[in-house]
């Protein structure tokens, strides 16, 4: 039986879960959530996730929400992307860093700049968020000095979590070439067997709504 991931291509949090499933070599398939037409606000979807958010993973009787939990589940089930036993808490530390410093701010900033109607875009808020993100990029860039991966000697869910929004083409204050260590690290991820761009891995693309 395939794992079902309720997701959509524009969602960086969905991408983290989808890419983890893909790199774990688990059998899975994406189920498109039409977020921009209000799908996550329906009673049917909220029966899967009362928070009304994507992604949601369904593996038989196991239903999980929150990308980090889905990543950990896929890693535990497959035995991949988990690093060495001694690295468990360092990986967890970077997962929490992503959740608080990277994805939460990148997701909101990218949404405000690209998907929110222009009349509702607050330039001061966007500028503030980009400043916060710049500080987070600096931390990530410095952590990758002379390292191929965030933790250990191979890709882990810590890397997949922190790259979640950084492959998207829409502007939100991230210029890849500006952070040379991040740029090199993203190239390492792109060269990992099984890697796919978010718009190739999941259904849903801004061009669908043009």
Which CATH number do you get for residue 17?
A: 3.40.30.10
For the chain, give the secondary structure using H, E and C: CCEEEEECCCCHHHHHHHHHHHHCCCCEEEEECCHHHCHHHCHHHHCCCCCCCCCEEEECCEEEECHHHHHHHHHHHHCCCCCCHHHHHHHHHHHHHHHHHHHHHHHHHHHHHHCCCHHHCCHHHHHHHHHHHHHHHHHHHHHCCCCCCCCCCCCCHHHHHHCCCCCCCCCCCCCHHHCHHHHHHHHHHHCCCCCCCHHHHCCCCHHHHC
pLDDT in tens, 8-32: 999 999 999 999 999 999 999 999 9
List the domain range (segments joined by +) for residue 51.
Answer: 3-81+196-209
Please check whether residues 205 and 177 belong to one and the same domain. no
> Based on the structure, what is the number of domains in the chain?
2
Residue 210 has pLDDT above 80, yes or no: no
pLDDT tens per residue across span 76-101: 999 999 999 999 999 999 999 999 99
Shared-domain flag, residues 91 and 165: yes
User: What's the pLDDT at 208?
Assistant: 85
* Segment 35-76, tens digit of pLDDT: 988 889 999 889 888 888 999 999 999 999 999 999 999 999
């Amino acid at each position: 039986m395939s794992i079902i991931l309720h997701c959509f291509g524009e969602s960086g949090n969905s991408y983290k879960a989808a890419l983890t499933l893909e790199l774990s070599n688990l059998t899975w398939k994406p189920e498109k959530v039409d977020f921009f037409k209000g799908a996550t606000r329906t009673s049917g979807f909220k029966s899967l996730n009362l928070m009304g958010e994507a992604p949601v993973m369904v593996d038989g009787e196991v239903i999980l929400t929150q990308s980090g939990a889905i990543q950990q589940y896929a890693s535990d089930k497959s035995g991949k992307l988990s690093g060495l036993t001694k690295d468990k808490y360092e990986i967890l530390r970077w997962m929490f860093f992503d959740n608080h410093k990277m994805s939460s701010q990148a997701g909101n900033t990218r949404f405000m700049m690209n998907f929110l109607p222009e009349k509702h875009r607050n330039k001061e808020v966007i500028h503030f968020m980009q400043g916060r993100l710049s500080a987070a990029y600096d931390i990530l860039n410095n952590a990758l000095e002379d390292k191929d991966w965030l933790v250990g000697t191979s890709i882990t869910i810590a890397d997949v979590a922190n790259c979640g929004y950084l492959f998207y083409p829409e502007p939100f204050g991230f210029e890849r070439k500006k952070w040379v260590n991040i740029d090199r690290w993203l190239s390492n991820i792109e060269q990992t067997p099984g890697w796919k761009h978010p718009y190739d891995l999941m259904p849903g693309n801004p061009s669908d709504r043009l």
